[in-house]
């Protein structure tokens, strides 16, 4: 019998297995980490399996590579009953509030358990109180410095009180689902996601959606009944706020179709951008609000239906949403001197791509390359992990074998230039994997920090600059190593790093993964002040599906005011290869 008569998708089953892996790791500690890894691996296998695994007979399930016997038993239970006993037990042992503790730097699973057993700490707020009372320093292995490190981590992650913000990777799918639901309503004419999410901020306070309709009451009723709305905070004639089951607030506002543009401008913000628009309006004898732009004296509406119309009537070039932050863009728009922001269509190559040769790669090399070719890319850098990365890295023998297999793939895809490269690991002292002999044979090297996130700013800056100065390294991958909302980035002297990168012609990667968006946008704005500094925008794909993430990297670059001519993978193939050659012969 099947749970509620519906078939569980592979994605759902994989999510259960992933959660199981995380909780098992918490319970068992590092000694049993292999069990957690087994579930993690199984999750990947299920996610990537072409057929719906919930419909497979037991024997076929067991035949899927990556699925052990114990895992298959758990999956059967899930498919038949809708839950897994072990998972239920672990969930009650480790509620989400408790797990959140383990994201704080300096609080591993062991420490979190000790905090709970000895001090009754069950969530981040409890921990803050315990730190304030100087109780944590009394525990074995802890001290005043551990307390300091934990409270800094709590601040930097934004894990406290009202300032709690949702990482964009969680907010975006919620917003998309809500927007799709609203767009499907008969009464709704147009839908626009606004607020910080449209500006592509990396964390989101709440989701703002503007819809246009002639029948606001019907729309508001539909919002209250929206699937995924766990609680209604407030519902009025034109605005309804709901909370999703994960605690994210969604504000939906309805306006008449004739006012849709003005409302979209107003609720996209930012507050400071809006203030500057209103000041400009006032100076011209106009009044700007969420209903439109009108002439103060005559009361006549000058613009309201479209955003373009509103900006135009204010004498401004259209300001792309990603840079509506009130940091100088309005003045530039008035002079028609807005930056020429990089666009998705400008991207011609992807320079950070893994395949199943890497331990964490999920699609075979041939499929990754075919996918790159299908996307119409002119060049691709295959960058498997260097050998210093435990489990995932490649030995010299594997590198040689991969290089050989590329010959055939190049024949299959004559229009795609395939660079055989690597993603090297920047060690604490700034050194990288392999020796010069191996390094000299790579055609493209990215180098990234994957360890030692807690060094001092001086140490981190030194290690990254040493990598930048390494003649074999063409680009620095995900510069800060942050995972938004989970791990703060390494502490860097950006000015020093940017100067070194400009000097050596080493590019800085803008990593597209929604969890990373690294280099962060504020640092990009700073980097754009440094003449000669170049960027790559790459996906860091581990699966064929991830090439599409390029849109997020580009959006983040736009938010950082990055212009097309600064991004080397917007160059046509010939020009790109010439750039690469010139920077490689410089060393």
- Where along the sequence are the contacts to ligand DGT (CB under 6 A)? 195-196, 201, 204-206, 208, 266-271, 274
Contacted entry of Zn ion, ligand DGT, Ca ion, none for residue 393, CB cut-off 5 to 8 Å set by kind:
none
* Residue 253 beta carbon to Ca ion: minimum distance, rounded to whole angstroms: 9
Bridge partners of 207, per DSSP, are 250
Surface-to-core class of residue 264, CB atoms within 10 Å of its CB (0-12 exposed, 13-18 middle, 19+ buried): buried
Backbone angle region of 320, left / alpha / beta, with phi > 0 → left and psi within -120 to 50 → alpha: beta
Contact at 8 Å (CB) between 254 and 238? yes
Q: Based on CB atoms, which residue is closest to ligand DGT, 102 or 196?
A: 196
* Residue 76 beta carbon to ligand DGT: minimum distance, rounded to whole angstroms: 43
* Residue 426 beta carbon to ligand DGT: minimum distance, rounded to whole angstroms: 33
Q: Based on CB atoms, which residue is closest to Zn ion, 241 or 539?
A: 539
Among 28, 125, 206, 295, binds Ca ion (CB under 5 A): 206
Contacted entry of Zn ion, Ca ion, ligand DGT, none for residue 539, CB cut-off 5 to 8 Å set by kind:
none
- Residue 107's nearest CA partner among 139, 79, 81, 146 is 146
- Name the token pair of 254: 């309805």
* Residue 248 beta carbon to ligand DGT: minimum distance, rounded to whole angstroms: 10
Contacted entry of Ca ion, ligand DGT, Zn ion, none for residue 274, CB cut-off 5 to 8 Å set by kind:
ligand DGT
Contact at 8 Å (CB) between 263 and 316? no
* Residue 290 beta carbon to Ca ion: minimum distance, rounded to whole angstroms: 13
Surface-to-core class of residue 162, CB atoms within 10 Å of its CB (0-12 exposed, 13-18 middle, 19+ buried): exposed
Contacted entry of Zn ion, ligand DGT, Ca ion, none for residue 560, CB cut-off 5 to 8 Å set by kind:
none
Q: Based on CB atoms, which residue is closest to Zn ion, 71 or 425?
A: 425
Q: Is 480 in the site for Zn ion (CB under 5 A)?
A: no
Contacted entry of Ca ion, ligand DGT, Zn ion, none for residue 448, CB cut-off 5 to 8 Å set by kind:
Zn ion
Among 40, 100, 147, 251, binds Ca ion (CB under 5 A): 251
* Termini Cα distance of the chain: 66
Q: Based on CB atoms, which residue is closest to ligand DGT, 207 or 446?
A: 207
Surface-to-core class of residue 243, CB atoms within 10 Å of its CB (0-12 exposed, 13-18 middle, 19+ buried): middle
The residue whose Cβ lies closest to ligand DGT is 269
Contact at 8 Å (CB) between 448 and 519? no
* Residue 523 beta carbon to ligand DGT: minimum distance, rounded to whole angstroms: 19
Q: Based on CB atoms, which residue is closest to Zn ion, 294 or 515?
A: 515
Among 40, 147, 202, 208, binds Ca ion (CB under 5 A): 208
DSSP 148-182: HHHHHHHHHHT-SGGG--EEHHHHHHHHHHHHHHH
Surface-to-core class of residue 420, CB atoms within 10 Å of its CB (0-12 exposed, 13-18 middle, 19+ buried): middle
∠ Cα 13 514 42 (to 5°): 25
Q: Based on CB atoms, which residue is closest to Ca ion, 111 or 201?
A: 201
Q: How many residues bind Zn ion (CB under 5 A)?
A: 1
Bridge partners of 209, per DSSP, are 193, 252
Q: Based on CB atoms, which residue is closest to ligand DGT, 362 or 558?
A: 558
In sequence order, what are the residues at sequence separation of 6 or more whose Cβ sits closer than 8 angstroms to the Cβ of residue 136?
Answer: 115, 119, 127, 130, 142, 146, 147, 150
In sequence order, what are the residues at sequence separation of 6 or more whose Cβ sits closer than 8 angstroms to the Cβ of residue 251?
Answer: 195, 206, 207, 208, 209, 239, 240, 241
Q: Based on CB atoms, which residue is closest to Ca ion, 196 or 425?
A: 196
Distances, alpha carbon 185 to alpha carbons 98, 193, 306, 393, 446, in Å:
39, 16, 21, 50, 47
Q: Based on CB atoms, which residue is closest to Zn ion, 198 or 542?
A: 542
* Residue 208 beta carbon to Ca ion: minimum distance, rounded to whole angstroms: 5
* Residue 324 beta carbon to Ca ion: minimum distance, rounded to whole angstroms: 13
* Residue 375 beta carbon to Zn ion: minimum distance, rounded to whole angstroms: 21
Phi, psi of 255 (to 5 degrees): -130, 165
Q: Is 448 in the site for Zn ion (CB under 5 A)?
A: yes
Name the 3-class secondary structure at 9: coil
Stretch of 51-59, 197-205, 398-406, 569-577 lying at the interface with Ca ion (CB under 5 A)? 197-205
* Residue 236 beta carbon to ligand DGT: minimum distance, rounded to whole angstroms: 13
Backbone angle region of 481, left / alpha / beta, with phi > 0 → left and psi within -120 to 50 → alpha: left
Stretch of 200-208, 317-325, 405-413, 443-451 lying at the interface with Zn ion (CB under 5 A)? 443-451
- Residue 555's nearest CA partner among 342, 347, 349 is 342
* Residue 190 beta carbon to Ca ion: minimum distance, rounded to whole angstroms: 19
By CB under 5 A, the residues from 269 to 298 that bind Zn ion are none
Among 195, 261, 421, 553, binds Ca ion (CB under 5 A): 195
Contacted entry of Ca ion, Zn ion, ligand DGT, none for residue 358, CB cut-off 5 to 8 Å set by kind:
none
Q: Based on CB atoms, which residue is closest to ligand DGT, 260 or 357?
A: 260
| Helix runs in 1-143, H state only | 10-28, 33-48, 58-63, 69-81, 85-93, 96-101, 109-119, 124-132
* Residue 355 beta carbon to Zn ion: minimum distance, rounded to whole angstroms: 14
Q: Based on CB atoms, which residue is closest to Zn ion, 322 or 384?
A: 384
Q: Are strands 379-385 and 417-425 parallel, antiparallel or unpaired?
A: parallel
Stretch of 67-75, 247-255, 413-421, 514-522 lying at the interface with Ca ion (CB under 5 A)? 247-255
Relative orientation angle of helices 365-374 and 396-412, to the nearest 10 degrees = 40
Q: What b/e readout covers 297-309, taking b as 16+ CB neighbours within 10 angstroms?
A: eeeebbbbbebeb
Q: Based on CB atoms, which residue is closest to Zn ion, 195 or 481?
A: 481
**CA 246 remoteness from chain centre:** 18
Residues that bind Ca ion (CB under 5 A): 195-196, 205-206, 208, 251
Residues that bind Zn ion (CB under 5 A): 448
């Amino acid at each position: 019998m099947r749970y509620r008569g519906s078939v569980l998708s592979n994605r759902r089953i994989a999510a259960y297995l992933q959660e199981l892996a995380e909780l098992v790791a918490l319970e068992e500690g590092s000694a049993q980490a292999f069990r957690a890894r087994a579930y993690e691996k199984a999750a990947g296998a299920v996610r990537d399996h072409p057929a719906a695994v919930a419909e497979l007979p037991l024997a076929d399930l067991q035949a899927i590579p990556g699925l052990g016997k114990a895992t298959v038993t758990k999956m059967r239970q899930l498919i038949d009953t809708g839950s897994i006993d072990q998972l239920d037990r672990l969930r009650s042992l480790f509620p989400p509030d408790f797990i959140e503790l383990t994201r704080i730097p300096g609080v591993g699973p062991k420490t979190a358990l000790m905090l709970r057993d000895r001090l009754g700490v069950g969530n981040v707020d409890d921990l803050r109180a315990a730190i304030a009372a100087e109780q944590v320093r009394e525990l074995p292995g802890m001290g005043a410095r551990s307390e300091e490190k934990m409270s800094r981590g709590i601040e930097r992650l934004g894990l406290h009180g009202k300032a709690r913000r949702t990482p964009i990777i969680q907010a975006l799918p919620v917003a998309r689902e809500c927007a799709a639901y609203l767009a499907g309503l008969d009464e709704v004419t147009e839908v626009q996601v606004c607020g910080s999410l449209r500006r592509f901020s990396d964390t989101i306070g709440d989701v703002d959606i503007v819809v246009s309709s002639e029948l606001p009451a019907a729309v508001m009723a539909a919002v209250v009944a929206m699937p995924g709305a766990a609680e209604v905070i407030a519902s009025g004639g034109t605005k309804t706020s709901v909370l999703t089951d994960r605690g994210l607030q969604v504000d939906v506002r309805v306006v008449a179709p004739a006012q849709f543009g003005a409302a979209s401008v107003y609720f996209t913000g930012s507050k400071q951008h809006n203030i500057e628009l209103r000041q400009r309006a006032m100076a011209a004898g106009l009044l700007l609000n969420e209903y439109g732009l009108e002439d103060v004296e005559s009361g006549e509406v000058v613009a309201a239906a479209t955003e373009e119309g509103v900006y135009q009537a204010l004498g401004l070039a259209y300001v792309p949403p990603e840079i509506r932050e009130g940091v100088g863009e309005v003045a530039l728009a008035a002079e028609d001197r807005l930056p020429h922001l990089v666009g998705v269509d400008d991207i011609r190559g992807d320079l950070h791509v893994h395949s199943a040769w890497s331990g964490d790669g999920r699609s075979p090399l041939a499929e990754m390359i075919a996918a790159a070719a299908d996307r119409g890319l002119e060049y691709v850098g295959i960058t498997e992990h260097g050998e210093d990365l435990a489990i995932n890295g490649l030995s010299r023998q594997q590198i040689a074998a991969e290089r050989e297999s590329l010959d055939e793939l190049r024949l299959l895809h004559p229009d795609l230039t395939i660079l055989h490269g690597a993603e090297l690991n920047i060690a604490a002292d700034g050194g990288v994997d392999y020796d010069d002999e191996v390094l000299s044979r790579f055609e493209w090297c990215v180098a990234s920090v994957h360890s030692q996130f807690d060094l001092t700013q001086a140490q981190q800056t030194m290690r990254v600059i040493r990598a930048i100065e390494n003649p074999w390294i063409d680009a620095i991958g995900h510069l800060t190593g942050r995972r938004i909302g989970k791990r703060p980035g390494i502490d860097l002297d950006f000015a020093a790093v940017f100067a070194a990168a400009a000097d050596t012609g080493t590019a800085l990667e803008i990593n597209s993964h929604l969890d990373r968006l690294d280099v962060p946008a504020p640092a990009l704005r700073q980097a754009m002040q440094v003449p000669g500094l170049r960027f790559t925008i790459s996906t860091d794909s581990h699966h064929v599906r991830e090439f599409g993430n390029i849109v997020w990297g580009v959006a983040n670059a736009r938010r950082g005011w990055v212009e097309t001519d600064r991004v080397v993978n917007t160059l046509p193939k010939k020009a790109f290869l010439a750039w690469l050659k010139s920077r490689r012969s410089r060393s």
